[in-house]
Amino acid sequence: MAGCSEETKKAAAETTKATTETVSSAAEDVKTSAHKAVEAAKEKAAAMSDVVAKKASEAKEAAANAVESAKEVVAPKTESAEHAGSSAIDGKALFGKCAACHGKDGKQKALGKSNVIAGQSADEVVKKLEAYKVGTRNVTGMGMTMKAQVSGLNDAQIKAVAGYISTL
């Protein structure tokens, strides 16, 4: 500062020092306020996270209860429909083509070779018919003949005809 008096230089230095202290103090205040704001935001975020987790848990529980309720409503109807479907299939009518070889009462040896089928349990007949259908059973050389007879039957029809045979 050429041409300035010592007094002017001293005043300028004091002003600079005071301004620096004021700016430093203001910066420290801003830093403290920012830190407090960040901490408050973290606390609020943590609280909101807890609320969201609780609501998600409640929603999950409500959904599970709704699924269970739906199962209770649907299950009896499904069982009823399955029962109605199998009872609607006439095992006696399906036995008509069996009677040609096994006799109308199931007590005839088919083609003089097979065992009598009357009196067998429904489960036993189902297992045998399913084995014939897939070609894994061949008793007295009748495997291919029986496979041809049962290949067109679905599971419900096999159960229905087996149920009828079990009553003979």
Can you give the CATH number for the domain in which 113 is found? 1.10.760.10
If you write DSSP's letter for every residue of 86-137 in order, what string do you get?
Answer: HHHS-HHHHHHHHHHHH-TTS-SPGGGTSPP-TT--HHHHHHHHHHHHHT--
Q: 98 and 74: one domain? A: no
Q: 5 and 53: one domain? A: yes
Tens of pLDDT along the chain (168 residues) come to 556 788 888 888 888 888 888 888 888 988 998 899 889 889 888 888 888 888 888 888 888 887 887 777 766 654 444 444 445 789 899 998 898 989 999 899 888 888 889 989 999 999 999 999 999 998 888 888 899 999 999 999 999 999 999 998
Residue 70 sits in which domain range?
1-88
Tell me how many domains the chain contains. 2
Per the structure block, which two tokens stand in for 1? 């500062």
Domain boundary among 58, 88, 118: 88
The label of the residue with tokens 């407090």 reads 36
DSSP one-letter code for 23: H
Whether the predicted model's global pTM rises above the 0.85 cut: no
Per the structure block, which two tokens stand in for 123? 């489960």
Q: 66 and 18: one domain? A: yes
Domain boundary among 36, 62, 88: 88
The label of the residue with tokens 């403290």 reads 32
Domain boundary among 88, 120, 146: 88
